[in-house]
Copies of this chain bind each other. A is one copy, B any other.
Amino acid sequence: MKSIRIFTPATVANLSCGFDVLGCCLDTVGDEMLISLTSEPGIRITKIEGADLPMETDKNVAGVAVQALLLDYKKDLGVTIEIYKKIKAGSGIGSSAASSAGAVWAVNHLLGNPYTPQELVKFAMEGEKLASGNAHADNVAPALLGGFTLVRSYNPLDVIKLHSPKDLVMTVIHPQIEVKTSDSRSVIKHNVSLQQAIHQWGNVGGLVAGLFTEDYNLIGRSLEDVIIEPLRSILIPEFKNVKNAAIEKGALGCGISGSGPSIFALSKGLKIATDVAEAIRVVYAKTGLEFDIHISQINSNGVKIIEEIQ
């Protein structure tokens, strides 16, 4: 039996302008998983700590993602999965993606890497489909590839790794409220004005250009969402005050992480990211709501090995 213990990261999807296409990978926020190849065929979830999640393989995002991989790999292998959740479910920083991506990454590693990280995305997306009904890739892609990623196209699937400037630091606040996925979806309109769409794709181009040229100012100017944020932010208490506080402290930009309720702020350097964390802590302390705050550099590798056990 070969086993591997991994760190599988939290991720911030959308990044303001890049709804459904952009995402980035965090470094110090994530789950641990212990994945083993066994002689007995079948996929078994043998342990889950830190969250109340289904142990049945076909109801668990990690189980479903590994099923998709093995179906493609066409060998009747045995896999056991232990999950040590640290990312809270429903936080908006890719909790289900961390499990799906981590599981397929680890199995691929144990098999001698028959798939590229890009190829693993489609397997991990099956976990996302189970979690949210929608096989989106904007969290699993950065978890698997690391750094900043772009889902250029879903059909055919085309995932691009972007450049990750080294001084970028994320501050994330997770207000511990439940935002129902149905509510978070129902506020979004099916149609947008062409003018707003043009504005948005100008910013997507600007953000990608800013990442490649390490132009922090351009990155900041491009972190603007004229389509989704005005609608979804009403579901997040104190969103505007958090954003104002973050920008005032020098954050390059601030927006909704994924579908929320977490809010991210991207800063140049740890000092500003820490000041931002303190300022938004002050804003949220007044609400009486529980919340977590994370500060993390960008993880340019994605899933990491903690220990290999032969």
Is there contact, CB below 8 Å, between B201 and A21?
A: yes
Q: A192-B191, A193-B191, A205-B204 are in contact. Are A221 and B158 (CB under 8 A)?
A: yes
Q: How many copies of this kind of chain does the complex include?
A: 2
Residues of B within 8 A of A221 (CB): 152-153, 158
Residues of the B chain whose Cβ atoms lie less than 8 Å from the Cβ of A73: none
The answer on a CB contact under 8 Å between B20 and A198 is yes
Contact A189 B200 (CB under 8 A): no
Docked Cα-Cα span, A135 to B274, in Å, equals 42
A86 in the interface, Cβ–Cβ < 8 Å?
A: no
Q: Is the CB of A201 within 8 A of B201?
A: yes
Contact of A194 among B191, B195, B209 (CB under 8 A): B191
A305 is an interface residue with CB less than 8 A from chain B: no
Q: Which of A119-165 contact B (CB under 8 A)?
A: 150-154, 158, 160, 162-163
**Contact partners of A195 in chain B: CB under 8 A:** 190
How far is A191 from B150 in the complex, measured between Cα atoms in Å?
25
> Is A103 close to B, CB under 8 A?
no
> Are B192 and A18 within 8 A (Cβ)?
no
A152 with B194, Cβ < 8 A, contacts A162-B209, A209-B212, A218-B160 known:
no
Q: CA separation between A21 and B207, bound complex, in Å?
A: 14
Chain B residues with Cβ below 8 Å from A194 are 188-192, 227
In the docked arrangement, what's the CA distance between A193 and B152, Å? 17
Interface centre among A153, A154, A205 (most CB of B within 10 A): A205
- Measured CB to CB, the nearest residue on chain B to A189 is B194
Whether B199 lies near A201 (C-beta < 8 A) is: no
Task: Indicate if the CB atoms of A197 and B199 lie closer than 8 Å.
Answer: no
Residue from A19, A20, A151 with most neighbouring chain B CB atoms (10 Å): A20
Q: Chain B residue with minimal CB distance to A162?
A: B209
**A207 and chain B: residue at smallest CB distance:** B205
Considering the complex, which residues of chain A in the window 196-254 have a beta carbon less than 8 Å from any beta carbon of chain B?
Answer: 197-209, 212-213, 218, 221-222, 227
Q: Which residues of A come within 8 Å of B, CB atoms?
A: 17-22, 150-154, 158, 160, 162-163, 188-195, 197-209, 212-213, 218, 221-222, 227
